[in-house]
Chains A and B, each alone.
Chain A
Amino acid sequence: MSVIILLLIASITVASLFLGFYIWSVKSGQYDDEQSPPFRILFEDSPPVKPNHTSAEINKKINAS
């Protein structure tokens, strides 16, 4: 059963990596805005370039579909 040491080391190494990623993500502001990402992915980035959307336009687009 001593193999559990290896599994613990491997798992905790990866967990530490994830912890590092988590700390980085919080500190670099990944979660500062939780409102726009779900909407952002719904827009295509094909040209021509669209003007900046107002929230009214965003709402209209969502409600129309």
Chain B
Amino acid sequence: MQIEKFHYDNKIVKYFAFATAAWGIVGMLAGLWVAIQFYYPAISLNYPGTTFGRLRPIHTNAVIFAFVGNSMFMGIYYSLQRLCKSRMFNDKLSWVHFWGWQSIIVLAALTLFFGYTTGKEYSELEWPIDILITLIWVVFGINMFGTIFKRRESHLYVAIWFYIATWITVAMLHIVNSFELPFSFLKSYSWYAGVQDALVQWWYGHNAVAFFLTTPILGLMYYFLPKAANRPVYSYRLSIIHFWALIFIYIWAGPHHLLYTALPDWAQSLGVVFSIMLIAPSWGGMLNGLFTLRGAWDKVREDPVLKFFVVAITCYGMATFEGPLLSLKSVNAIAHYTDWIVGHVHIGGMGWNGFMAFGILYWLFPRMWNTTLYSKKLATNHFWLGTIGIVIYAVPLYWAGFAQAGMWKQFTEEGQLKFQFLETVTSIIPLYITRSIGGTIYIIGALMMVYNLYKTAKQGTFIPNEAAEAAPLVKNTSHAGEYWHRWIERKPATLLVLSLIVVVIGGVLELVPTFLIKSNVPTIASVKPYTPLELQGRDIYVREGCYTCHSQMIRPFRDEVARYGEYSKAGEFVYDHPFQWGSKRTGPDLARIGGKYPDSWHYNHMMEPSLMSPGSIMPRYGWLLDDNIDTALTAAKIRAMQTLGVPYPAGYDKIANKELMSQANSIRINLKIDKIQTPANKEIIALIAYLQRLGKDIKAEKKTEPAVSQ
């Protein structure tokens, strides 16, 4: 057998590693900036791009797609080559992948800063960037599968299975959740509306956690932990079993983000059941990782890399126990919309994702630069700072979550709500301050890492191409001379599966248009489409990211009905492209805010929230008072909505602006009565129109006709 000589590409790994560290710092600093805004809102500098609503998506996109994304590629490009005993399939593709991904990140930062957002969490990037993401993901896939096909090791190590599952599922999730109809160069409307949009969004959103934040990193764990500990995986069989179980069960967990909302009960229950089942395969991974260190715990004492991995895997176990518990309806009733969820997210994000990335960086740099780590002591200090940072981050948020939910739900003996919403916010400010201290400590640790890695690289010599040798694969001839019956037994199963896939793809292509543009028969007759002015206002609401602090979904609880009004019905959201139910109540729910306050209240409140609500932490939105509504886009927006099945009359786009100005004028007059002078074409007028519409339609129904539900 001729041994083939080849080289592993370390240069691409180096670049992904630099990107990981750099974007990690950027993303964490963005996180700190938003964290401080909870108790010192003026730090947004009153600039539109840095208010919480726009900066929060910048933070989430940076840490998820820029930090974890690059860390995933760094780890995959290093481990896949060595597991396949082959250089990456195509060097050019590697670089297209790298630069393409960084371009996506830069475009993301710019567009989100300027308010070009879809209004859907973790999927905020608008349609041109969605297309670019698809292209780069395909490039990555060709490079990855190409490497697997030309491998010199026939066995696909378990890490590779995780990488394959990641690639396929992320492709599916991204494409399905990104069905959107553009109406301008940078803006679009979600194909889905209301309840449907909510379901697709959280089918996507939870699986983004599963297949972007979990499966690829589990794959990395299965490579880097054994390598760092020089120990074989505890149970290879367990790794295979929990892999298949994990990827099958995870897909169904999405509805746990929508418990007690207007999503149908059976869908909620499905999500709950699968979320509970998910404990088993998740903990399979955790136990497998931790038990791999059996007999090697003395190494953990000496090696910072192993310290990071141990805490990472433990946090993974904690988060995947907490997650299923949070999916129980009774627990969710308390936790949803509170900071408990944010605490949960960051145990996973800072603990699992962050610490895995740090550990891999500390392990890779000395190897790729053919030297030792510059300072093991510094790395160990980073470990302790990071761990303490995570605790000081999460514990206050658990406390805040319980406190706030408890206060929301408390009644006096006379049966009145005991606390105003604003009181529940101001009472947890000290916890917000503590949380940001935890985050700061975590960042300091990360900065120590950057310094340490820089000094490591400086003292070493980089190996851009690492020499390797291996024998090529022998073609599998084991089926030669087999009994013919076995041949037929083999083929039909594969053939059946392939045909099923082909048929289903065909079905999808046929059915998709009909389901997405389904003529929405309103389940509530009195619910009507938004007027042009209200639609413009809604788009401003989406642009400013209001949904990141305000929910629009009243749950059927006594305290919520008492505080906000009738609980939200599915039929109220049929024209909402995208849905804006929100995930967090930093501010009160707005589902039935329509008609609660006069127009002038909203005007003053948006200009200076603490005027109307003393002690409010909401940012100022002064530019809405100065900027004009972009009426040039009104007609295009109406036409887009018509394509999506919203029943505006034919030709309505031509008179839409006239209607808009007429409604705007009546609001201007209302404001004038209350001593506020403003031209009618300002954005604040549109936003007021939208806010005053929220939740009103079914109140009208009670007066005119009996409820029509289907």
Q: Which 3 A-B pairs have the closest CB atoms?
A: A38-B232, A3-B196, A20-B497
Query: Which of B196, B470, B501 makes the CB contact (< 8 A) with A20?
Result: B501
Question: Hey, what's the 0/1 contact readout for B230-254 against A, CB within 8 Å counting as 1?
Answer: 1111001100100010011001100
Within 8 A of A (CB), among B174-207: 176, 192, 195-197, 199-200, 203
Question: For chains A and B in complex, what number of residue pairs have CB atoms within 8 angstroms?
Answer: 129
With contacts A33-B155, A47-B468, A49-B469 taken as known, whether A1 is within 8 angstroms of B195 at the C-beta atoms is yes
Q: How many Å from the CB of A43 to the closest CB on chain B?
A: 10
Residue pair B518, A30 in contact (C-beta under 8 Å): no
Complex contact A30–B196 (CB within 8 A) = no
Is residue B677 contacting chain A, with contact meaning CB distance below 8 A? Answer: no
Nearest residue, chain A, Cβ from B3: A49
Which of B339-347, B502-510, B540-548, B599-607 is near enough to bind chain A?
B502-510
What residue of chain B has the Cβ atom nearest to residue A11's Cβ?
A: B251
- Surface stretch bound by A, among B34-42, B121-129, B162-170: B162-170
Q: Contact partner of B199 among A7, A14, A38, A40, CB < 8 A?
A: A7
Residues of B within 8 A of A39 (CB): 232
Docked-complex contact B195 and A14, CB < 8 angstroms: no
19 pairs from A and B in contact (CB 8 Å cutoff): A1-B264, A1-B570, A3-B196, A3-B200, A6-B508, A7-B200, A9-B511, A16-B500, A16-B504, A19-B497, A25-B161, A30-B155, A34-B240, A37-B158, A37-B236, A42-B231, A42-B232, A45-B470, A49-B469
CB distance from B517 to the nearest CB of A (A): 11
Chain A hits for B155, CB < 8 A: 30, 33, 37, 40
Question: Does the CB pair B512–A34 fall under 8 Å?
Answer: no
**Residue of A4, A10, A30, A46 touching B156 (CB-CB under 8 A):** A30
State the CA gap A45–B87 with chains docked (Å): 12
Tell whether, in the assembled complex, residue A20 and residue B507 are in contact, meaning their CB atoms are under 8 Å apart: no
B647 within 8 A of A: no
Instruction: Determine whether A5 belongs to the interface, using a CB cutoff of 8 Å to chain B.
Output: yes
Is B78 part of the contact surface with A, judged by Cβ < 8 Å? Answer: no
Residue pair A20, B494 in contact (C-beta under 8 Å)? yes
Q: How large is the interface on A (under 10, 10 to 19, 20 to 34, 35 or more residues)?
A: 35 or more
Q: CB of B302 within 8 A of chain A?
A: no
Contact pick for A4, options B199, B237, B476, B497, CB 8 Å: B199
A65 and B630 CA atoms in complex are apart in Å by 68
Q: Are B176 and A4 in contact (CB under 8 A)?
A: no
Interface 0/1 of B197-229, CB less than 8 Å to A: 101100100000000000000000001001100
**Which B255-304 residues have a C-beta within 8 angstroms of A?**
264, 267
Q: Pick from A13, A18, A49: contact of B165, CB below 8 A.
A: A18
B627 at the interface (CB under 8 A from A): no
Residues of A36-65 whose CB lies within 8 A of B = 37-42, 45-47, 49, 62, 65
Q: Are B500 and A38 in contact (CB under 8 A)?
A: no
Quick one: which of B22-78 are within 8 Å of A by CB? none
Contact with B along A21-34 (1 / 0, CB 8 A): 11111011111011
Output the nearest chain A residue to B197 by Cβ-Cβ distance. A3
Bound complex: CA A13 to CA B237 (Å): 26
* Known A3-B192, A13-B508, A19-B497; contact A45-B226, beta-carbon cutoff 8 A: no
Residues of B within 8 A of A15 (CB): 248, 251
| B296–chain A nearest beta-carbon distance, Å | 8
A-facing mask of B470-494, CB < 8 A → 1, else 0? Answer: 1000001010000000000010011
Q: Given A16-B504, A20-B498, A41-B83, are A46 and B476 neighbors across the interface (CB < 8 Å)?
A: no
Q: How far is the CA of A20 from the CA of B172 in the complex (A)?
A: 17
Whether B469 and A34, one on each chain, are in contact in the complex, defined by CB atoms closer than 8 angstroms, is no
> Are B227 and A42 within 8 A (Cβ)?
yes
User: Shortest CB–CB separation between residue A33 and chain B, in angstroms?
Assistant: 7
B226 touches A17 (CB 8 A): no
Are A25 and B156 CB-contacts (below 8 A) given A20-B501, A49-B3? yes
Known contacts: A16-B497, A23-B493. The answer to whether A7 contacts B469 by CB under 8 A is no
- Does B467 count as interface, using CB distance less than 8 angstroms? yes
Residues of B within 8 A of A30 (CB): 155-156
